[in-house]
Structure 1
């Protein structure tokens, strides 16, 4: 909330300072938070679907041209399934957006829901994306053989991705949601 929009008011009866909030400024601030959360979740969903679609096509073309067997077909299938899951997740989330009213609290609830979706995606990225793909890639490397440098590189990349996703969830998405929930509690108190 933009506290510079608050005004001090001296309560003559109680002899204490009170504050008044500009309702329009508060509504605009919550609207901006909702729009930022919507842009963030839309960008993440579309980027993940695009990247996974491209990887699925590359793996499929590689499987057809190199004839390595089921490994590349399985990899392409896994990537295609992640795109389908993300599309399902996105459609379900977009349908829920129509249930929020355009009031101050409705827009705040909308921002909280989008923030929650970002936390869900970050959590799913770890358990249902990075770990299964890591096991698949490392299994393929074990089956076909790989150099020590490639092993170290791949393990390092998966470990880095794992820690970056966890850090982003913990340092960015969870605090945003906490702030929005605190604002909602504060508004419900008054």
Structure 2
């Protein structure tokens, strides 16, 4: 909620300036936060599904056309399984959305749940996506052999992705979730 939306009140007994919260403006602010968190998680889920589906199809097509060995089929299968997991995760999250009441606190709980989902996806991206796919890719390069430029490129790309996902989680998603939880605690105290 913006500072301008708070009302200044003069407390006659103590002679101090106090502030009152405009509940309607606060509810609108929470609704905006909930909508923004919902858009973020939807965009991330959909983009990950599109990217992983595309990569899976490309890897399967490449494996079939080039009559590759089990490495390419395994890579394509891993990517397809990540899409299945993302669909499961999304459906589970969407089903939970109907459990929140449409009150101000319910919408705040919904925003917190969506922010928690963003933190969880970022964590899963690191430990159950980037690391296994990185190990698989490096294992394939080791098995089939690759020149130094390819090694440096692949290691650099995975290191950069790892760093960016961790940074995004720590600098954006966790602080948003903390702010929403702090707001909830403040509202529950009043």
Aligned equivalents of 1:51, 1:171: Cα separation in 2: 24
Aligned 1:1-190 pairs, distance under 5 A: 1-190=1-190
CA distance in 2, matches of 1:138, 1:32: 43
SS in 2 for 1:18: strand
CA distance in 2, matches of 1:42, 1:113: 13
Shift, 1:15, TM fit: 2.4
Q: Which runs of 5+ in 1 are unaligned?
A: none
Q: How far 1:145 moved relative to its partner?
A: 0.4
Q: Output one character per residue of 1:108-152: Cα deviation in whole Å (capped at 9) or x when no partner.
A: 000000000000000000000000000000000001100000000
What is the alpha-carbon distance in structure 2 between the residues aligned to residue 84 and residue 35 of structure 1? 25
Deviation at 1:4, TM superposition (A): 1.2
Aligned-pair distance for 1:17? 1.9
* 1:64 positional shift: 0.2
**Distance across 2 between alignment mates of 1:58 and 1:153:** 20
- For residues 67 and 93 of structure 2, the distance between their equivalents in structure 1, rounded to whole angstroms, comes to 39
- The C-alpha deviation readout for 1:60-106, integer Å capped at 9, x for no partner, is 00000111210110011000100000000000000000000000000
Q: TM-score under structure 1 normalisation? A: 0.99
Q: Which runs of 5+ in 2 are unaligned?
A: none
**Cα distance between partner residues in 2 of 1:27 and 1:182:** 16
Q: How far apart, CA to CA, are the structure 2 residues paired with 1:15 and 1:89?
A: 54
Q: Distance in 2 between matches of 1:137 and 1:111?
A: 37
Q: What value does the CA root-mean-square deviation take over the aligned residues?
A: 0.6
Superposition misfits of 4+ residues, deviation over 3 angstroms: none
